[in-house]
Amino acid sequence: MQNGKEVILALDTSASPLLVGVHADGTRVSRRRKGIKQERLLFPVINEVLRASGSTLKEVKKICIVRGPGRFTGIRIALTFASMMQYLNHAQVYGATLFEILRRQVEHSVAYRRFKEKNSQGALAVVLHAFREEYFLQIFDKESSGPLWLSREELLDRLIHYDKPLLLAGSDKNGESLAALTENQYPLAADKDCRVRPETLLALAQDDSCKQNALEPLYLKPARFELVIPQ
């Protein structure tokens, strides 16, 4: 590390668009690039962001990645790159799921504060489109059982039968609002809080709790495709 400079790199390859951000000596630069061939976009965009911040790849000492859910190949790209940086640069690796990232963004928002003022027992539900008519869901409450991959019908059934008020965050197909999917039955987080922001990832690179399982991918599988082994 030159002249005591700390360079932090943020990376989201879980889906399009690719997101790359960097923080170096008080300077923040980020880029988004659309395209599913992220293995081709990755290094050109990383180099562009580093140049704009006056930094080099060798100076990166912290990296924060999104470890899922999302495209299998996309998640592997971030994990492989972070592993490489850990080995070559001795960089510290931090990781978070999309659910955790959106939760952090929403819970710092005015909309969430107002929701909790009216619904002290209410909870945040993060809903993300997965594939065709299937969705990812995680409800953050004391009884949270972790993230799930559900059909559209299963998702709506779980939301309807949840016994406390819900604030929804996330997005439908092509990044659209959840309003149509849920027929406006639930209050929604602001659009700006429902997509990963580079500053959130850069902040998570200062949170030691994100070091745990940082390189552990979260792929998720539809329950009907999981192999059940008799006991």
Question: What is the DSSP track for 118-151?
Answer: H-TT-EEEEEEEEETTEEEEEEESTT----EEEE
Residue 31 has pLDDT above 80, yes or no: yes
Q: What is the pLDDT of residue 223?
A: 52
Cα 206 to Cα 154: distance, rounded to the nearest angstrom: 37
Residue that the structure tokens 């959130």 belong to = 200
The 10s digit of each residue's pLDDT in 192-203 is 999 999 999 999
Query: Among all chains, which residue has been given the structure tokens 């928002």?
Result: 109
Predicted pLDDT at 228: 40
Distances (CA, A) of 208 to 20, 58, 197, 211: 21, 22, 19, 5
**1 pLDDT exceeds 50?**
no
pLDDT at 227 over 70: no
Q: Place 4 in a pLDDT band, splitting at 50, 70 and 90.
A: low
What the block records as the tokens of 121 is 């027992």
Where do the DSSP E strands lie in the chain?
A: 7-12, 18-24, 27-33, 60-66, 92-96, 123-131, 134-140, 148-151, 166-171
With a cut of 90, say whether residue 230 has pLDDT above it: no
- Position 41 confidence tier, pLDDT thresholds 50, 70, 90: very high
pLDDT of 207 reads: 96
Mean pLDDT, residues 17-40:
93
The letter for the amino acid at 200 is T
CA 19 to CA 196: how far, in whole Å?
8
Give dist(CA 55, CA 229) in Å, integer: 51
> Per-residue pLDDT tens for 114-161?
999 999 999 999 999 998 999 999 999 987 678 999 999 999 999 999
Map out the domains of the chain with their CATH numbers: 2-97+195-219 (3.30.420.40), 110-189 (3.30.420.40)
Work out the pLDDT band at 2, boundaries 50, 70, 90: very low
Does the pLDDT value for residue 98 go beyond 70? yes
pLDDT class of 3 with cuts at 50, 70, 90:
low
The band of 229, judged by pLDDT with boundaries at 50, 70 and 90, is: very low
Q: What is the DSSP string of 190-212?
A: -GGGSS--HHHHHHHTT-GGGGT
Kindly indicate the confidence band of residue 224, based on its pLDDT and cuts at 50, 70 and 90.
low
194: left (phi over 0), alpha (psi -120 to 50) or beta: alpha
Average confidence score pLDDT of the chain: 92
Query: 200 — phi, psi (to 5°)?
Result: -70, -45
Residue 59 pLDDT > 80: yes
Per the omega criterion (within 30 degrees of 0), is the bond before 17 cis?
yes
